[in-house]
Structure 1
Amino acid sequence: MVAGVIKDQNGNPIENVSVLAGPEGTTSDKNGNYVLKIPAKKEISIVFSHISFINYSKTLTVPEGRTIRFSPRLKLKTEELTEVDVKNRNKDAQGIISIDAAKVKKIPGANAGVENVLMTLPGVNNNNELSTQYNVRGGNFDENLVYVNGIEVYRPFLVRSGQQEGLSFVNSDMTQNVNFSAGGFQAKYGDRLSSVLDITYRTPSEFGAAVNLSLLGGSATVEGKILNNKLSALVGVRYRDNSLFVNSKDVETNYKPKFADVQTFLSYQINERLKIDFLGNFSKNEYNYTPISRRTKFGTLAEPLELIVYYNGQEQDDYTTAFGALKGTYLVNDKLQLSLTTSTYNTQEAEHYDILASYNLGEVDSNLGSENFGEVSFSKGIGSQLNHARNNLDALISNVQLKGTYISNGNNFQFGAKYQIEDIRDRLIEWEVIDSAGFSIRPPNHTLNNQPYEPYEGKIIPYQNIRAYNDVQIKRISGFAQWSKKEEWGTNEVWYNLGIRAQNWNVSGATISGNSTQSTISPRGQFAIKPDWKNDMLFRFSTGFYHQPPFYKELRDSIGEVQKDVKAQKSIHFVLGNDYSFDLWNRPFKLISEVYYKHLTDVNPYTINNVRIRYEAKNNAVAYATGIDLRLNGEFVPGTESWISMGFMTTKENIDDKGYIPRPTDQRFKFAMLFQDYVPTIPDLKAYLNLVFNTGLPGGSPSYADPYQYQNKLNSYKRADIGISYVFVDQNKQFNSGLLSNFRELTFGVEIFNMFDVQNSITNTWVRDVYSKQSYGIPNYMTGRVFNVKLGMLF
């Protein structure tokens, strides 16, 4: 028997390589692995072939009872393709976008990494550069699936703002493959409404180390193989500090963040059929925040206003998460592969703050000839606001999952079953007292008082007061089965996929009366055809029912109480897509177009404050999302890949039959450009431009207010990040002596984030004028222009 890993000249694994030895044959998997049975004690010629690579042959003789490991490296047929990804038509047929992991680390952004590149894709939006969360085609942050090596990963629950988030789970220094679907995905993926991000960490083949340093933090990665090359190990450590960004905002603060994590991926090849993988992560995010003052100008030219705030108090948050997953993969025979995965995720979160804000809301003198031009000339509201929270959450999520793949006569069957237990213990204590000109503001539902004309002698009641203690257990059983096939229709190529998912869940707990059990069934299907035309085009259509059984956050209503009978939100997807590959300027380009419509029922309305989502837990709305996404990628500059994305979308909801209004994620138009270039006379000097324009989101509404009365929009989001780097050492530029001979790669770069210093806002702070009883939405501006330097080293 012969086994090994097939790679290209850059060390990247190659999928779907044909391996033939006379009548015996096989193909490599997505990680480049192959296993081929050949007769013992006989000289056999093995041929490795792929449409994009030069054929390679090797003559071997295998001793009796032995397995020889042979891992060839194939050369591309055309040198001009070295900077272009080898496209997988199977992924195109599935509507999956593949992103080169090597490019992910080079693209500038406030949160550089996989999610930063996703923001440049059509249909993917986020107006908060300090957050790695994103919404897709009208969905919210909680509607996206994220997998690492086939294992679902989670985010902390209590994070309220992007600057508290710290680090994404996905470590881009450890990433090999990045696949993303914005809708209409297959049944093998889980029960969410919007998207799938499928990450694969690489399996090292030799020793290597990488170190990246910048003013925002640093990372280190070590990899290699030990124990007779049977155990491969990949370990990454990261640290991040967002002080540069926070100090660029209009709020003066003392800010001490500490975001750090360590991850490891181990893979042990017991024999040619059995492999054991371990994925582990531990992260510690401490967020200490002491606001001092804030000055924000807003309003119109006719009525300019300014909010001046002075603060007392502080916020101390701690998010500690641990994750471990063990996966065994067994190749039963050439047709059947099984895997068993067990994982546990624990998060312990604390959100504690006491902040007193004394504010002055005033009219600004706009008379150009005035000595006090630009200063506050009249106070419309003077008051104070005291916010208090003692929120603690401890969540333990454990599961075990069996998956299988059976391939026979061109038919690909995949199936799986999963059992999961979620144990959540949550204390939610929040209250807010508002005092305006000496008079405490009563809650909106409080009996009307006539201050200041008549004294009110009752007790001071908080404007908001949430107190909840929840001890909840959720047990889930889910499973899927799907069939895929590729075949010929005459001279045309076609792909089919049909599948079904099902889930049953039970909600119970010490703080819940009784329990609730519900079930869902989700059929899904895909069809794609590549006509035998002169033009290289592929058409695809996806549809299906997508259910999102409620996670803990969706069970908890706006006052913190758990509603056990909350139903799964439901959506029907219709996605029609086209891929058109062509040559322009003698270089390869590709235009991807998708039209989609999503109809949603049993919708759980929610509000967003920065990145915190709070649900009504009532299933009292219906909604829809529809739009078109366009993406053109190719070699705009020879030897580099860039792309332009555009999206048009509208999403609306109807709450309690009051009529359709925009959903909190209703962002009508998006334009994004990811552009790479270099100086022709100095090819080692490279530039990367990341440009995003989004039309404004709905501005939200004050607490307890009717959203139908607050339908204002925030301003458009405009941002441009640029990075310039010089390559001292890379695979094409090696040194045999001197200091640079110690490096496999060495780069130094400068980055400018928000280089046009645009004031973007993500949410509104609502301040009330006690005289007119009017609430003003004061925009919370995001980061200004920030400079960063970074150094990358690979040994």
Structure 2
Amino acid sequence: HRGAFNSENHLVNWGVKFQHESFKDKMKEWIYRDSTGYSIPYSDKEVLLYYTLKGKNQINSNRITGFIQDTWNFPVNIGSLYITGGVRFNYWDFSKEFLISPRASLSYFPEWKEKISFNLSGGVYYQSPFFKELKKRDGTINYDIKAQRSYQIVLGSDYILTAWNRPFRFTAEAYYKSMSRLIPYNIDNVRIRYLSEQKSTGYATGVDFNINGEFVSGVQSWASLSLMQTKEDIEGDGHGYIPRPTDQWLNFSLFFQDYFPGNPSYKMQLSGFYGSRLPVGPPHSERHQNIFRMPPYRRIDLGLSKVIISPANKSEHRLAHHINDMWLSLEVFNLLNINNTISYFWVSSIYGDQFAVPNYLTNRKLNLKLTIKF
């Protein structure tokens, strides 16, 4: 159920949701490592597995969530001020937790020549665990698990500027999140494995910048830059704060469009991505052993397209009576043919040493496509 009430200076929204969940889980995992003439662990009498895990679980639970918030509009002498305050609640009968999350935000629009606004928001956020977060490393369920909690504050600004007689929007945000009751996790290849028997405290802090507009008249382009650090301290491990699996201090992305002067039916799209090194460690290891870093992620994609039929030129084509749009495109993915590492395959020697062999994402790919819309 959702509802709203609007008056002269107030906008009130509310909602309530009930959700029933039923899970049946059956798990059987094993790893057998062998090479020429031997296997690990070695036995000349029987086949021994390197790793085994079995589990069988069934859970039925109910959740009730809801919220109510109000937005006030306060006209001031030098602009407009908007204040939004509200509360969210969550009850989950599995953990018997009743969680209340107060939140508030403030937006100020000054009456300046420049179109600019400032935003400040903060609150308490809870994330109740889902089924994967409940499972321990031995496949059993942690019935004492609690919701993860975060105290957050975000300061931002939105600025509309003019360059080359065209509008651009620049946004900037800085944030800090103090987190507790975290559920640590490992990333094993492309699978996330939670360590629900452990708890940690942590933080995340960073800044985000984004600009978008018509760098070329008539087509939108954008660029974004993010700087971030996130760490956690796992209770009882004695290693203090360590990087979380998502600790990636720099991310940059770019999307640029252009067309041939005088003939906009020929278009070009260029996108670029850069992500700094992520922490990684051997499989089935403790979190503090993720002391290595993957190589940075780098990729450039290029797209070229030709509009053949459009609503503006349908009359020029005899066969276009039933076709609204048609264009031909050539896409080059991973233009520079960079080997980006997604994960590692860990090879063990007979002496127990482990060697990381990278698994790469796809190399350069070409895609020729004809698109027709009726």
Q: Distance in 2 between matches of 1:652 and 1:781?
A: 27
Matches within 5 A, 1:704-743: 705-735=285-315, 738-743=318-323
Partner deviation per Cα, 1:618-655 (whole Å, 9 max, x = no partner): 35111111111111111110111101111111111111
Partner deviation per Cα, 1:234-262 (whole Å, 9 max, x = no partner): xxxxxxxxxxxxxxxxxxxxxxxxxxxxx
Partner deviation per Cα, 1:464-514 (whole Å, 9 max, x = no partner): 11111111112101111111133311130111111111111122xxxxxxx
CA contact (8 A) 1:676 1:687 kept: yes
Is 1:664 aligned with 2:251?
no
Equivalent residue number for residue 6 of structure 2: 407
Aligned-pair CA distance for 1:740: 2.0
Is 1:776 aligned with 2:355?
yes
Query: Residue 683 of structure 1 is aligned with which of 252, 264, 273?
Result: 264
Is 1:674 aligned with 2:255?
yes
The residue identity in structure 1 corresponding to 2:132 is K
CA contact (8 A) 2:198 2:234 kept: no
Q: Distance in 1 between matches of 2:90 and 2:50?
A: 41
Matches within 5 A, 1:607-646: 607-646=186-225
CA contact (8 A) 1:555 1:563 kept: yes
Equivalent residue number for residue 142 of structure 2: 563
Aligned-pair CA distance for 1:742: 2.1
Query: Residue 760 of structure 1 is aligned with which of 330, 340, 356?
Result: 340
Aligned-pair CA distance for 1:588: 0.6
Aligned-pair CA distance for 1:457: 7.3
SS for the counterpart of 2:251 is strand
Equivalent residue number for residue 544 of structure 1: 123
SS for the counterpart of 2:282 is coil
Query: Residue 72 of structure 2 is aligned with which of 468, 479, 485?
Result: 485
Q: Distance in 2 between matches of 1:754 and 1:633?
A: 23
Q: Distance in 2 between matches of 1:735 and 1:598?
A: 58
SS for the counterpart of 2:280 is coil
Query: Residue 746 of structure 1 is aligned with which of 326, 330, 347?
Result: 326
Q: Distance in 1 between matches of 2:45 and 2:234?
A: 35
CA contact (8 A) 2:255 2:271 kept: yes
Aligned-pair CA distance for 1:736: 6.6
Please tell me the root mean square deviation across aligned C-alpha atoms, in Å.
1.8
The residue identity in structure 2 corresponding to 1:680 is P
Q: Distance in 2 between matches of 1:788 and 1:592?
A: 34
Equivalent residue number for residue 794 of structure 1: 373
SS for the counterpart of 1:635 is strand
Number of residue pairs matched by the alignment: 372
Q: Distance in 1 between matches of 2:54 and 2:196?
A: 17
Partner deviation per Cα, 1:367-412 (whole Å, 9 max, x = no partner): xxxxxxxxxxxxxxxxxxxxxxxxxxxxxxxxxxx11011112311
Q: Distance in 2 between matches of 1:496 and 1:586?
A: 34
Greater RCO between the two (CA within 8 Å, min separation 6)?
A: 1
Matches within 5 A, 1:452-491: 460-491=47-78
Identity of matched residues, %: 37
Q: Distance in 2 between matches of 1:541 and 1:679?
A: 43
Is 1:495 aligned with 2:47?
no
CA contact (8 A) 2:190 2:343 kept: no
Partner deviation per Cα, 1:410-467 (whole Å, 9 max, x = no partner): 311111111100111111111112235644434xxxxxxxx7xxxx678644221111
Change (3 A) 1:710 1:436: farther
Aligned-pair CA distance for 1:777: 1.4
Equivalent residue number for residue 112 of structure 1: none
The residue identity in structure 2 corresponding to 1:724 is L
SS for the counterpart of 1:553 is helix
Q: Distance in 1 between matches of 2:17 and 2:287?
A: 39
Change (3 A) 1:437 1:710: farther
CA contact (8 A) 1:723 1:749 kept: yes
The residue identity in structure 1 corresponding to 2:24 is R
Partner deviation per Cα, 1:518-575 (whole Å, 9 max, x = no partner): 2211111111101111221110011111111111111112232221221111111111
SS for the counterpart of 1:735 is helix
Q: Highest CA radius of gyration, 1 or 2?
A: 1
Q: Distance in 2 between matches of 1:780 and 1:730?
A: 43
Aligned-pair CA distance for 1:746: 1.3
Q: Distance in 1 between matches of 2:365 and 2:136?
A: 38
The residue identity in structure 2 corresponding to 1:659 is G
CA contact (8 A) 2:228 2:247 kept: yes
SS for the counterpart of 2:320 is helix
Matches within 5 A, 1:67-82: none
SS for the counterpart of 2:175 is strand
Matches within 5 A, 1:55-454: 402-435=1-34, 438-442=37-41
CA contact (8 A) 1:497 1:526 kept: yes
Q: Distance in 2 between matches of 1:629 and 1:662?
A: 20
Partner deviation per Cα, 1:239-287 (whole Å, 9 max, x = no partner): xxxxxxxxxxxxxxxxxxxxxxxxxxxxxxxxxxxxxxxxxxxxxxxxx
Is 1:702 aligned with 2:275?
no
Is 1:574 aligned with 2:153?
yes
Partner deviation per Cα, 1:342-378 (whole Å, 9 max, x = no partner): xxxxxxxxxxxxxxxxxxxxxxxxxxxxxxxxxxxxx
CA contact (8 A) 1:602 1:619 kept: no
CA contact (8 A) 2:160 2:168 kept: yes
Q: Distance in 2 between matches of 1:580 and 1:790?
A: 38
Q: Distance in 1 between matches of 2:74 and 2:48?
A: 70
CA contact (8 A) 1:486 1:494 kept: yes
Change (3 A) 1:697 1:723: same
Q: Distance in 1 between matches of 2:189 and 2:261?
A: 43
SS for the counterpart of 1:554 is helix
SS for the counterpart of 1:678 is strand
SS for the counterpart of 2:321 is helix
Equivalent residue number for residue 505 of structure 1: 92
CA contact (8 A) 1:567 1:619 kept: no
The residue identity in structure 1 corresponding to 2:69 is Q
Q: Distance in 2 between matches of 1:557 and 1:503?
A: 24
Change (3 A) 1:723 1:692: same
The residue identity in structure 2 corresponding to 1:595 is A
